[in-house]
Every structure is written in structure tokens, then in C-alpha cells.
Amino acid sequence: MKQALLAVFFTFLTLNTTPGLADINLEATHKEINTTVWKAFQDAFQALDGKALNDVYADNVLRITSDGIDTQSAFKEANVTRFAENIKNGDRIALDFWLDSRQTNETTSYDVGFYRLAMTTSAGATSTFYGQFHIVLKNIDGSWKIAQDWDTSSIGGRPITAEDFARKVPDQF
């Protein structure tokens, strides 16, 4: 009986002293993340502004794609180069996404969702791409930044499709 009471006590103590869980206003934190990260990300992508997009990321980022792992932030220079080429070609990009799940404490948020990227060329041809992302956000010196960025165009070997994306309405930030 004494051991059972001790187990209950330590469980209660642990649940009520986990750092960051009791002291955070999740609604306010999620609103801040939505505005400073997700809206900024979407706006920069659609404006083809590589510098603004890169500003949403931390200085040190772990970026994982089907092409491999980037621990040197080489993708940031590629963002600038790619968007400059898109602008030169007269391309336009529309980016929509929705969050499927989110776990947040005072310093870290883990956001999972689906995206749809439509690129329209100057000739009017549109290509649409779908994918899933897993993003780790860190609160660095008072600002939320993307610290880890993983995305894929398939799950379990099956391509992500328009039907997958249509399961929810895109978030409005």
C-alpha cells in the first residue's frame, strides 16, 4: 500500500511539474506562431522572396527531403536562386497548407500538416504538387523559427494526392 501511494505521489508530482506545460498560453502561442512563422512563410513563398523565406528559419537548421539531409543550410541559397529564376521566368506560386497536428510547449512546437503548391508559368501552364511536412519550431531569443524541416511527397510509398489534401480546408493565417 505504501509503495502504491508513493507511485501515485510521484506520478502526480511529475505531471504537475513538467516544465513549460502549465505556464504556457497555448492559444496565444499558436496565434504568434501562425502569424510570425506560417503566414510569413506563405507570404514569402508566394512573393518569391527567398530572403524573407530564409528569415523564417533558424540560423542552424536540419532540413530533410527525398534528396537527403542538409545540415549546412545550403537550401537557403537555393531558395534565393530558385525564386530569382522563377521571377525571371514570370512564374507564380500559390501555396496552401493545413495543420494536421501540433504539440507545443514554451520553447518548442512540433507541427505536422499537408501542403499544396501550384506553380503557374508565364505561358499559363500550372503544375500542382502535394506533400506532408513535419516542422520543429524553436523559440530563439523570443522569436519562433523553423529549426527542423522535413517534407515528403509520399507516405508509405503512396504519392500524396489532391484527395489527401482535400481532407481539410487550408488554414488562413
pLDDT tens, position by position, 71-89: 999 999 999 999 999 999 9
Q: For the stretch 98-114, what's the b/e string if a residue is b when 16 or more beta carbons lie within 10 angstroms of its beta carbon?
A: ebeebebbeeebebebb
- Section 58-63 average pLDDT: 96
Q: Please list the alpha-helical segments (H only) found in the chain.
A: 2-15, 26-33, 40-46, 50-55, 74-89, 162-165
- Section 143-159 average pLDDT: 97
> Which residue(s) pair with 126 in the sheet?
120
Q: In what helix (H) or strand (E) does residue 151 lie, and over which residues does it extend?
A: strand 143-152
Give me the percent of the chain exceeding a pLDDT of 90: 84
* pTM of structure: 0.85
Q: Using pLDDT thresholds of 50, 70 and 90, give the confidence band for residue 22.
A: low
pLDDT at 167: 97
CB 48 within 8 Å of CB 83: yes
* pLDDT of 101 higher than 60: yes
- Section 106-132 average pLDDT: 97
Summary mean pLDDT of the chain: 90
Question: Of 144, 162, 167, whose CA–CA distance to 41 is shortest?
Answer: 144
Q: In what helix (H) or strand (E) does residue 111 lie, and over which residues does it extend?
A: strand 108-120
For the chain, domains (ranges, CATH) are 26-165 (3.10.450.50)
Q: Using pLDDT thresholds of 50, 70 and 90, give the confidence band for residue 2.
A: low
* pLDDT of 5 higher than 50: no
pLDDT at 47: 98
* pLDDT of 16 higher than 60: no
pLDDT at 9: 41
* pLDDT of 55 higher than 60: yes
* pLDDT of 36 higher than 60: yes
Q: Using pLDDT thresholds of 50, 70 and 90, give the confidence band for residue 18.
A: very low
